[in-house]
Amino acid sequence: MMRWVFLFFNLLMGFGAGSGSFLALNAGAREAVGINSSMLVHSPFTSFLIPGLFLLLVLSCGNFLVGFLTLKKLPDFPYYQCLVGAILFLWIMIQCVMIWDIVALHVIFFSVGVIQFALGLWTIRKQQVPFPFSAHQN
């Protein structure tokens, strides 16, 4: 049952980050929803290219990959769930600092990241999953 909960969050984040990357990488789509480069004035970026690629490659593809590993019942999957959850909520915090704004989607996706991380940690402790690649594994 818990795997399906994880998969739901992975798919939600995979498609959500994929949509965000499309908006970041497509100037016409950005204009249609009112996103302009003035949002980047307090960030180290001059365009949305790097944030868009991060959304696509790390958050979108990362969540799809972790969802696949979860479906394949990889024993270490809770650690990967924690990883994508932590990356997500850290990304949202950094993004809010860089654009000096917090909107409802930030709160929603920050919460999803915290939930992914917390459920992964809970699963690790409940199932006593050993740390991947540790020297204590047989």
Q: What is the pLDDT of residue 134?
A: 67
Q: What tens digit of pLDDT does each residue of 61-89 get? A: 999 999 999 999 888 889 999 999 999 99
- As a dihedral over the C-alpha atoms of residue 8, residue 10, residue 13, residue 18, rounded to 10 degrees, the angle is -120
- DSSP 3-state assignment of 117? helix
Task: Indicate the pLDDT class of residue 136, thresholds 50, 70 and 90.
Answer: low
**What is the pTM (predicted TM-score) of this model?**
0.86
Residue percentage of the chain with pLDDT more than 90: 54
Find the angle CA(39)-CA(19)-CA(14) to the nearest 5 degrees: 120
Residues 34-45: pLDDT tens digits?
Answer: 787 778 888 888
Per-domain residue ranges of the chain: 1-127
Q: What is the mean pLDDT of the chain?
A: 89
The tens digit of pLDDT for each residue in 115-127 reads 999 999 999 889 8
